[in-house]
């Protein structure tokens, strides 16, 4: 009996050790993958900063040379290079100048201040998110109609693709003027422009996703005499989720671009587009670049949120491997 208990204990210990080793080995690839992804990102960021500083020196050096010529002085080259990093209105501001401006207009300003980038970003983000939601709903409905109707697939889809060849800078003023003429003002005109840009990637990705169901699975649904709605909810829609969220990543970023572009022709006094306009009017390049950097940070955060949401939905639907 004691020998049997000893063997059982050794077997349990070996199983426990195997479990620990397997769990540890499963964590190692994820850790290695995160570490391997971190290094390339750092390299790209450092290379971008180096190119940015080099570009700032080259573009701003001409002003330093002309200023020295007017003053009749001959400063050293390194002195002029140092001065290119601290100009009030540089052609291309240095990264640290943009970082200081972003800090001053986000942390040191009240959110309700008209000089706060948080205030302007909130206004742009509200119209962008409304347009993104409208674009997603429109894109999904159009994709369902295109997949289930061959006539729409041949007639509507080419026009949807052709609509994206129209420059948004040309069509944005017309949309705003028409909507103002019918009494639609405020947030909706900018949201419509964001919707115009964001619905296209959702349509394309959703059409691909709804059509990507395996033929054997479709045959199985027909064998079970499943209705069209049952096939849609139990097969086509779950299969299309990875494609949908891939399109939504593009849509959420481009909807922010649409909201900023919509603020340019209207002469808006608030929003990131208004900051860009004000900076261009008065030659405040640092202000322009700070608004662009904040917009890019917001877009990156939105894409990351959509990516996390898509990963969670795929896991809940058993598509974690996709």
User: Under CATH, to which class is 102-316 assigned?
Assistant: mainly alpha
What secondary structure, in 3-state letters, does the chain show? CHHHHHHHHHHHHHHHHHHHHHHHHHHHHHHHHHHHHHHHHHHHHHHHHHHHHHHHHHHHHHHHHHHHHHHCCCCCHHHHHHHCCCCCCCCCCCHHHHHHHHHHHHCCCCCCCCCCHHHHHHHHHHHHHHHHHHHHHHHHHHHHHHHHCHHHHHHHHHHHHHHCCCCHHHHHHHHHHHHHHCCCCCHHHHHHHHHHHHHHHHHHHHHHHHCCCCHHHHHHHHHCCCCHHHHHHHHHHHHHHHHHHHHHHHHHHHHHHHHHHHHCCCCCCCCHHHHHHHHHHCCCHHHHHHHHHHHHHHHHHHHHHHHHHHHHHHHHCCCCCC
Please give the pLDDT value at position 220.
Answer: 81
The residue whose two tokens read 């419509």 is 192
Residues found in the chain: 322
Contact 49, 98 (CB under 8 A): no
CB atoms within 10 A of CB 167: 8
Please give the pLDDT value at position 321.
Answer: 52
Angle at CA 243, nearest 5°, toward 239 and 247?
155
Distance between CA atoms of 272 and 194, rounded to whole angstroms? 14
Please give the pLDDT value at position 23.
Answer: 40
Contact 235, 147 (CB under 8 A): no
Predicted model pTM: 0.79
Residuewise pLDDT in 10s, the chain (322 residues): 444 344 443 434 344 334 433 443 444 454 555 556 678 888 888 999 999 899 888 988 888 888 888 877 777 878 888 888 888 888 889 899 999 998 988 888 888 888 888 888 898 999 999 999 999 999 999 999 998 888 888 888 888 888 888 888 778 778 877 887 887 777 788 888 899 999 999 999 999 988 888 888 888 888 888 887 888 888 888 888 889 999 999 999 999 998 888 887 666 678 888 888 888 888 788 888 999 999 999 999 999 999 999 889 888 877 655 5
The residue whose two tokens read 């964590």 is 27
Please give the pLDDT value at position 36.
Answer: 64
Please give the pLDDT value at position 251.
Answer: 93
């Amino acid at each position: 009996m004691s020998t049997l208990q000893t063997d059982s204990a050794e077997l349990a210990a070996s199983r426990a050790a195997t479990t620990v080793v397997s769990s540890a080995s499963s964590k190692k690839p994820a850790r290695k993958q995160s570490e391997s992804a971190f290094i390339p990102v750092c390299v790209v960021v450092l290379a971008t900063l180096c190119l940015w500083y080099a570009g700032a020196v080259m573009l701003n050096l001409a002003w330093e040379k002309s200023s020295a010529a007017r003053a009749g002085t001959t400063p050293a080259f390194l002195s002029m290079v140092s001065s290119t990093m601290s100009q009030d209105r540089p052609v291309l501001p240095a990264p640290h100048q943009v970082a200081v401006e972003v800090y001053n207009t986000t942390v040191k300003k009240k959110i309700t201040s008209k000089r706060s980038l948080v205030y302007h970003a909130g206004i742009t983000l509200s119209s962008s998110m409304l347009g993104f939601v409208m674009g997603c709903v429109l894109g999904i409905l159009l994709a369902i109609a295109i997949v289930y109707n061959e006539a729409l697939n041949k007639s509507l889809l080419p026009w949807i693709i052709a609509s994206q060849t129209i420059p948004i800078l040309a069509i944005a003023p017309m949309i705003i003027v028409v909507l103002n003429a019918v009494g639609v003002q405020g947030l909706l005109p900018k949201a419509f422009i964001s919707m115009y840009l964001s619905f296209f990637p959702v349509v394309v990705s959703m059409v691909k996703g709804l059509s990507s169901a395996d033929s054997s699975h479709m045959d199985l649904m027909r064998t079970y005499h499943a209705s069209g709605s049952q096939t849609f909810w139990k097969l086509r829609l779950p299969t299309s989720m990875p494609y949908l969220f891939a399109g939504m990543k593009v849509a959420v970023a481009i909807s922010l671009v649409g909201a900023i572009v919509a603020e340019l022709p209207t002469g808006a006094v608030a929003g990131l587009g208004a900051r860009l306009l004000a900076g261009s009017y008065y030659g405040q390049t640092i202000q322009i670049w700070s608004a662009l950097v904040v917009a890019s940070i917001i877009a990156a955060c939105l894409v990351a949120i959509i990516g996390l949401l898509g990963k969670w939905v795929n896991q809940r639907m058993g598509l974690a491997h996709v």
